[in-house]
């Protein structure tokens, strides 16, 4: 089916010495960071590795942001290939952006490679399928908990001030990690919030989410339809759309208009194939079609509770940052989560929704040198606020762990 490039785009998750911690953000002056490799062992004996980035010139232990990845394989660098302004291929390491921007604020940044994931000599992601296939959500929570224990032993960081920063899949796992090992966790920052269990997420991605990705590429489609004239006008501004959304392939009835209903019907066979593959435990199909995931991964959270059920157990600041045109995780779920907090009489959740922003909150490789999109900058400010209000008598992170 020729629409695979579009569908693949939709389901990708998004798309990284010591200094005294200053209570207010530092200047815009660039800050170098020092990278430290942290090695540890999972509870089942699997060797794991993370990278801790620290502001250079620091003289005291620093607060640290602990990053939880989106779905699929990822190492602690996440090399991103792109074409520079000169048209030549270039590479940037996605997590260097986070390390630099958080280092600018005087914070450390820790991320780990998921089990079975590493980088080859050229920096390209290498995945050991036999190892990564064991990385179900339950196992990932356990791996993150072990990583946190190793991080807390580092003299370079202030173990009393840790913020969990989850993206996509990580937004669902972060509250579970906080409930498991709450010591020192002072807040959760969640970007591109996955509010649903895995079955509901997969179904939405391969129905409503597809059209939302179209609207992100071509705003003229926001009324629920896309004419060929609107498509060609958009192509003049962004020729790459042709590869992601070939109009002739999605205009099933050849009337030169593509509608949301028409596109949803067109991608339905893909959704049916995924659901059948999960039922049949067809891991070869899922590995090739769904971010190198497995039936064991999907079934581990297939019919689980909404993420709000995990978040409601926490009595610490939680902030969500979400793009309105996210085609991978529902913005509606953010509002449902907020409603669940209101119904429970809880006031520790803040949400930010950004019109025109996608699952990556409009991050681009240009951010390797720049400051990044407004949502990402505001997420870093939220981190700073959480560290600023940290006090020794803060309530425990878990109000009702059962």
**What count of other Cβ atoms lies within 10 Å of the Cβ of residue 155?**
7
Q: Are 72 and 293 in contact (CB under 8 A)?
A: yes
pLDDT for the residue 85: 78
8 A C-beta contact, residue 367 and residue 94:
no
* pLDDT score recorded for residue 90: 86
The CATH class given to the 14-197+298-388 domain equals: alpha beta
pLDDT at 395 > cutoff 50: no
Name which residue leads in pLDDT, 6 or 300. 300
User: What is the per-residue pLDDT for 88?
Assistant: 85
Query: What's residue 30's pLDDT?
Result: 57
3-state secondary structure (DSSP) of residue 251 = coil
Alpha carbon 183 to its chain's center: 23
Residue 400 has pLDDT above 60, yes or no: no
| Average model confidence (pLDDT) across the chain | 89
215-243 b/e with 16+ CB inside 10 Å = b?
bbbbeebeeebbbeebbeebeeeeeebee
Confidence bin at 8 (pLDDT 50/70/90):
very low
Q: Which of 186-195, 329-338, 393-402 bottoms out in mean pLDDT, i.e. has the lowest?
A: 393-402
pLDDT band at 2 (very low <50, low <70, confident <90, very high): very low
Question: Mean per-residue pLDDT for 186-202?
Answer: 98
129-138, 281-290, 361-370: the lowest-pLDDT one: 361-370
Residue 31 has what pLDDT? Answer: 67
At 264-291, the pLDDT tens digits run 999 999 999 999 999 999 999 999 999 9
Q: What is the pLDDT of residue 57?
A: 84
Cβ-based neighbours of 340, under 8 Å, separated by 6 or more: 306, 308, 312
14-31, pLDDT tens digit by residue?
332 222 223 333 444 556
Residue range(s) in the chain whose domain bears CATH number 1.10.238: 203-293
Class of the 203-293 domain? mainly alpha
- According to CATH, where is 3.40.50.1820 located in the chain? 14-197+298-388
Distances (CA, A) of 139 to 114, 134, 136, 177, 185: 10, 7, 5, 11, 20
Distance CA 200, CA 329 (A): 10
Asked whether residue 212 carries a pLDDT value surpassing 60, the answer given is yes
pLDDT tens digits for range 285-322: 999 999 999 999 999 999 999 999 999 999 999 999 99
Q: Residue 391 pLDDT more than 70?
A: no
> What's the angle, vertex CA 76, arms to CA 376 and CA 192, rounded to 5?
35
How much of the chain exceeds pLDDT 70, in percent?
89
Strand, helix or coil for residue 234: helix
């Amino acid at each position: 089916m020729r629409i695979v490039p579009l569908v693949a785009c939709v389901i990708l998750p998004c798309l990284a010495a010591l200094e005294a911690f200053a209570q207010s953000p530092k200047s815009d002056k660039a800050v170098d960071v020092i990278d430290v490799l942290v090695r540890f062992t999972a509870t089942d004996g699997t060797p794991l590795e993370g990278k801790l980035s620290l502001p250079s010139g620091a003289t005291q232990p620093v607060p640290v942001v602990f990053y939880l990845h989106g779905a699929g394989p990822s190492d602690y660098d996440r090399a991103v290939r792109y074409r520079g302004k000169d048209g030549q291929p270039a590479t940037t390491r996605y997590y260097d952006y986070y390390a630099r921007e958080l280092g600018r604020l005087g914070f450390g940044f820790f991320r780990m490679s998921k089990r079975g994931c590493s980088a080859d000599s050229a920096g390209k992601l290498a995945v050991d399928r036999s190892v990564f296939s064991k990385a179900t959500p339950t196992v990932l929570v356990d791996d993150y908990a072990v990583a946190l224990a190793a991080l807390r032993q580092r003299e370079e960081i202030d173990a009393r001030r840790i913020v969990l920063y989850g993206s996509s899949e990580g937004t669902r796992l972060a509250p579970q990690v906080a409930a498991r090992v709450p010591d020192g966790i002072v807040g959760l920052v969640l970007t591109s919030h996955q509010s649903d269990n895995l079955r509901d997420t997969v179904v939405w991605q391969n129905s409503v989410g597809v059209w939302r990705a179209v609207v992100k590429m071509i705003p003229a489609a926001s009324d629920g339809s896309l004419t060929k004239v609107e498509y060609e006008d958009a192509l003049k501004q962004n020729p790459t759309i042709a590869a992601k959304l070939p109009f002739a392939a999605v205009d099933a009835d050849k009337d030169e208009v593509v509608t949301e209903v028409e596109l949803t019907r067109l991608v339905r066979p893909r959704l049916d194939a995924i659901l059948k593959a999960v039922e049949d435990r067809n891991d070869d199909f899922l590995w090739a079609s769904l971010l190198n995931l497995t039936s064991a991964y999907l079934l581990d959270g297939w019919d689980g509770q909404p993420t709000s059920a995990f978040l409601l157990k926490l009595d610490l600041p939680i902030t969500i940052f979400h793009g309105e045109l996210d085609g991978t995780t529902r913005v509606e779920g953010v509002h449902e989560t907020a409603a669940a907090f209101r119904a429970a009489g809880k006031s520790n959740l803040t949400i930010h929704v950004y019109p025109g922003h996608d699952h990556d909150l409009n991050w681009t490789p240009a951010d390797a040198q720049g400051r990044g999109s407004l949502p990402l900058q505001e997420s870093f400010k939220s981190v700073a606020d959480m560290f600023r209000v940290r006090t020794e008598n803060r309530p425990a992170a878990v109000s009702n762990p059962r």
